[in-house]
Structure 1
Amino acid sequence: MAYRHGIYTTESDTQVVDPVEAGTGLVVFGTAPVNLLDNPSEAVNKPIQVNDWNGAKNEIGYSEDWSKFTLCQQMDASFRRINAGPVIFVNVLNPTDHTASESAVTINVSEGEAVIEKEGVLLNSLTVSAGDGSSNYVEDTDYTADFNEDGHVVISILDSGSITGSDLTVTYDYLDPESVTSEDIIGGYDSENGTYQGIEVIEQVFPRLGVNPGLLSAPGWSHQEEIGTTLVLKSRGINGGFNAGNILDVKGNTKDDAASDKDTKLYDDSSSTICWPRAKISGKTYQYSAIAAALMVRLDAENDNVPYKSPSNKKISISAMVNDAGEEVYLDQMAANELNGNGIFTAINLNGWRTWGNNTAAYNDTVQNIDVKDRFIAVRRMFDWWGNSFMLSFLDRVDDPTNTRLIESVVDSENIRGNSLQGEGQIAGAAIEFRQKDNPTSDILDGVIKFKQRVAFYTPARVIENDLEFDPTLLTNALFGGGE
């Protein structure tokens, strides 16, 4: 090494923290046919993340009866219609609490099989005996039992067993989804046992899965005021800091009914996207919130998980929109705009079915001076996503020494992130500062530091207008070429 004498400087690379993309984190609450699983009790009041259709069937079960098993319509919408995932499901249907029993039911044996034509049967409760009740049979000795594609139990007679008659008598317990109430969906925290139920399970999503919730939904339930209100409340301050959006349905047979229902239930929070009416695809009717949620997940995935694009005016493969009575609803642009003006997200058939509406539930065209961050769905979601991403990105910096290295790390990393997103056209701009006026000595001595970040997200071009004017000179030039 050369002999050194004097003063020198060196340079080190800027310490940049790679941002952690928050992603959509769609969490859906409801009921599922968990009796189809090997261990039904393991799929109750627990966040279960699934990535595809087969995963959903294997992890929570599937049924075509969406009125009883409400999570299944989100499964179908996300993985079969919109093809978007992952989705986090929370099932509240508990085989311990929500069951009923059938005793001494006679079923016929045909070609070595007998079928219990009822959904929800709990296999571990099944007993099989002779048609006249004279003898009891033993599973795996006299018969085997499993589910068919319809979710019905098929009892297969073993040739080596002792079953000979043409009838069997069966007794069993079965899931009773109709006994699930709004209180089960809302749930709560049991401090004595340290357990979470219902919507309160949202607090377990990040600790269990490492995913921060971005959207909450409960199709088939969110039209109930107490459930919708709970979803709104639980959307903010999750795990003490994360914020999410929520997607709710309102009821009604007409657009005026829907607007009135929204007002009556006070669904007016900026975190909410309000949906009406329902969507119909291939003979199946979906709560529109299930379609909207799946669409937002797909839209995010197509844009690097940055939710900067509005979910409005996106084509959706549906066959009709229907009201609560099952009657088809055809909204023209004027009628759909009335709903939008009341903060309701809908759909119109304009050169194909497409989503229609940019406004959160907080917007009403009679309300003046609403903050832009609370008005537009895309802007509100960007604020939530940005805040969640910041917390995840710099979680490892908490409890580090409060020195310039820490401050520069945050400032440099966030400015680089902002410049990158701006360069991609995903935001208008972002800049972060560490200002002395925001950080008095007393706060620093208390271990508290504060940054000031200014952000600007693109608002949707909800109106594109072209002012047409007839220009006589263009006509003259066309006829005479501008000559004498």
Structure 2
Amino acid sequence: MAYKHGVYTQENPTSLATMTQTDSGLIVAFGTAPLHLATNSAGANKPVLCYTYAEAVKQFGYSDDWKKYTLCEAMKSQFALFNMAPIVLVNVLDPSKHSQMITDKATAITNGVATVSDAVMLDTLKVAISAEGTALTKDTDYTAAFDDDGNLVVTVISGGAIPTGTEQLYLSYTMLDPSKVEASDIVGGVDTASGKATGLELMDEIYPRFGIVPGIIIAPGWSSDVNVASVMRAKTSNIDGHFNAICLCDIPTDTVKSYTAAGEWKNKNATAEKNCDMCWPKIKLGTDVYHLSTQLASVMNYTDSQHDDIPYYSPSNKNLQADSAVLDDGTEVYLSSAQAAYLNGQGIVTALNFIGGWKSWGNRTAAYPSNTDVKDNFIVQRRMFNWVGATLITTFWSKIDDPANKRLIETVVDSANIWLNGLTAKGALLGGAVEFRDEDNTTTDLMDGILHFHVKMTPPSPAREIEFVQEYDTSYIATLFA
């Protein structure tokens, strides 16, 4: 040690840890995107974090044909309708698999313009004057761009190699074919040779990629498939080995056409999962038809944003961006409050137009009514447990491999309790506490470096029923003689 002579200072780490703020409802959306319209394509099976609509369109493109390109529905809901950010988008439409080659397609020229409605991958386009002819030069002989409807417009450049009076061009290109995408592409898997994950298997990459805990999984247009929904439910637990999320799934509206049938469908398809919320029917705004799960995810984001990004307010009885509820064939659905309550009693979230316009309606997870544990069958309880768990993990991860001594234990207990007390004061909890108990920590566990902390908390349940009892009081007749 160096020789010292004088006054010196040193610092010890703060005995209280600052609690990290985890995102309560980061949406991870799986589906298909019109990559041919993207200016900086994200490609297939790559999670992309987007904070703006322009950012999403740049990497995925945008089309109003939501049946072909399902991620566009989530983009429209999140950014245009609810002005919420961010969202993680995962496109599974792979141009190397879900496409077809078009060779020498004769395309008529009208007023110097040839138009193609196919989903053309622009970098594969070859334009010729004749079948199997020599390729013309882009931006010298012609220009190629997409119009507002997603059509490819090839415009003849005057003075180029295309003779005046040419009546048609021959176009060869690779065309995206979203009809080739199957439920198995959404489910995904892991390539045994490369180790590359696809589809829902990418959930484990979200936190390592972006440092944000995923909170909500959706797959517009696909979650009504029982196989996709089953894997979505499985992927809500133990994400990246640590975190839990919820998934929002739709009951199909092409075959399930009544509220009673929706309950039967749920029971038949065994969707009693605590981290899953089931939705029925669809909703419509103008000419746009949304899956209820898509808007419900955005409603959750908006509701959380109004309460310090803490998910203790229910998404039920919150405004939807809708002017009607519909089935797949466009038939309008108007539920009475009693019919909507029936769906809620089956663990299904629906849309109700009762007081104040169209609102999401339902507090129960898909676990209800078979699971009677309150932390599992209320949406707010489930989301609060997921969120508190994620916050504790991200906060105290830095303490892993520190000496398992009294100081570490006190730091964890004191820091967590101060935080829980703050949530209680805010009204996000009715109470909460963290304890380090003798009965939970055996000598052999402590010797092996394993510490068990017991967390008790009570998020408030939603006031799902308020009753006023009215009574005729004869004593007030005396006021007639006052």
Instruction: Tell me which interval the TM-score lies in, with the shorter structure as reference length.
Output: over 0.9
CA contact 2:17–2:395 (8 Å) conserved in 1:
no
Q: Secondary structure at the match of 2:214?
A: coil
C-alpha displacement of 1:138:
1.6
Q: Secondary structure at the match of 1:394?
A: helix
Equivalent AA in structure 2 for residue 259 of structure 1 = G
CA contact 1:311–1:358 (8 Å) conserved in 2:
yes
C-alpha displacement of 1:339:
0.4
Structure 1 residues 78 and 114, CA gap change in structure 2 (3 angstroms): same
- Structure 1 residues without counterparts, runs of 5 or longer: 1-10
- The match for 1:225 is 226
Root-mean-square deviation (CA, aligned residues, Å) is: 1.8
Alignment pair present for 1:353 and 2:358:
yes
C-alpha displacement of 1:114:
2.2
**Larger deviation: 193-202 or 14-23?**
14-23
Q: Deviations over 1:393-441 (max 9, x none)?
A: 1111111111122111111111111111111111111111112221122
Equivalent AA in structure 2 for residue 93 of structure 1 = L
Structure 2 Cα separation of the partners of residues 326 and 166 of structure 1: 42
C-alpha displacement of 1:182:
1.0
**Larger deviation: 327-336 or 418-427?**
418-427
Structure 1 Cα separation of the partners of residues 14 and 54 of structure 2: 46
TM-score scaled by length of structure 2:
0.93
Q: Deviations over 1:32-68 (max 9, x none)?
A: 111223454x421111111121111112111111111
Structure 2 Cα separation of the partners of residues 398 and 183 of structure 1: 38
Equivalent AA in structure 2 for residue 361 of structure 1 = A
- The match for 1:452 is 454
Structure 2 Cα separation of the partners of residues 83 and 55 of structure 1: 14
Structure 1 Cα separation of the partners of residues 303 and 150 of structure 2: 33
CA contact 2:420–2:432 (8 Å) conserved in 1:
yes
Q: Deviations over 1:435-459 (max 9, x none)?
A: 2221122111111011111101000
**Larger deviation: 17-26 or 211-220?**
17-26
Structure 1 Cα separation of the partners of residues 181 and 14 of structure 2: 58
Structure 2 Cα separation of the partners of residues 422 and 229 of structure 1: 35
- The match for 1:207 is 208
CA contact 1:32–1:69 (8 Å) conserved in 2:
yes
Matches within 5 A, 1:130-145: 130=129, 135-145=134-144
Structure 2 Cα separation of the partners of residues 287 and 370 of structure 1: 28
Matches within 5 A, 1:159-198: 159-164=158-163, 165-198=166-199
Q: Secondary structure at the match of 1:172?
A: strand
- The match for 2:275 is 271
Percent sequence identity over aligned pairs? 38
- The match for 1:285 is 289
CA contact 1:432–1:453 (8 Å) conserved in 2:
yes
Structure 1 Cα separation of the partners of residues 280 and 155 of structure 2: 46
- The match for 2:52 is 52
Structure 1 Cα separation of the partners of residues 43 and 311 of structure 2: 30
C-alpha displacement of 1:204:
0.9
- The match for 2:476 is 474
Q: Secondary structure at the match of 1:230?
A: helix
Structure 1 Cα separation of the partners of residues 430 and 75 of structure 2: 35
Matches within 5 A, 1:234-383: 234-251=235-252, 252-351=256-355, 352-364=357-369, 367=370, 370-383=372-385
Structure 1 Cα separation of the partners of residues 449 and 88 of structure 2: 36
Q: Secondary structure at the match of 1:97?
A: coil
Equivalent AA in structure 2 for residue 65 of structure 1 = D
C-alpha displacement of 1:173:
1.3
Equivalent AA in structure 2 for residue 197 of structure 1 = T
C-alpha displacement of 1:140:
2.7
Equivalent AA in structure 2 for residue 399 of structure 1 = D
Q: Deviations over 1:326-379 (max 9, x none)?
A: 200000100000100100000111121111100110112xx4x70110110011
CA contact 2:22–2:213 (8 Å) conserved in 1:
no
Q: Secondary structure at the match of 1:411?
A: helix
Structure 2 Cα separation of the partners of residues 219 and 362 of structure 1: 21
Q: Deviations over 1:158-181 (max 9, x none)?
A: 234211223211111111111111
C-alpha displacement of 1:18:
2.7
Structure 2 Cα separation of the partners of residues 19 and 206 of structure 1: 14
CA contact 1:50–1:59 (8 Å) conserved in 2:
no
Q: Deviations over 1:11-36 (max 9, x none)?
A: 99642323232331110111111122
Q: Secondary structure at the match of 1:312?
A: coil
Structure 1 Cα separation of the partners of residues 406 and 235 of structure 2: 36
Structure 1 residues 107 and 415, CA gap change in structure 2 (3 angstroms): same
- Structure 2 residues without counterparts, runs of 5 or longer: 1-11
TM-score scaled by length of structure 1:
0.93
CA contact 1:254–1:323 (8 Å) conserved in 2:
no
- The match for 2:92 is 92
Structure 2 Cα separation of the partners of residues 298 and 247 of structure 1: 16
CA contact 1:35–1:95 (8 Å) conserved in 2:
no
Structure 1 Cα separation of the partners of residues 193 and 219 of structure 2: 27
C-alpha displacement of 1:133:
6.2
Structure 1 Cα separation of the partners of residues 168 and 442 of structure 2: 84
CA contact 1:84–1:295 (8 Å) conserved in 2:
no
Equivalent AA in structure 2 for residue 98 of structure 1 = H
- The match for 1:7 is none
CA contact 2:39–2:61 (8 Å) conserved in 1:
no
Structure 2 Cα separation of the partners of residues 152 and 209 of structure 1: 35
Equivalent AA in structure 2 for residue 234 of structure 1 = K
Structure 2 Cα separation of the partners of residues 147 and 324 of structure 1: 30
Q: Deviations over 1:188-221 (max 9, x none)?
A: 1123202000000111111111111111111100
Structure 2 Cα separation of the partners of residues 154 and 325 of structure 1: 33
CA contact 2:63–2:69 (8 Å) conserved in 1:
yes
Q: Secondary structure at the match of 1:274?
A: strand
Structure 2 Cα separation of the partners of residues 94 and 470 of structure 1: 70
Structure 2 Cα separation of the partners of residues 166 and 271 of structure 1: 60
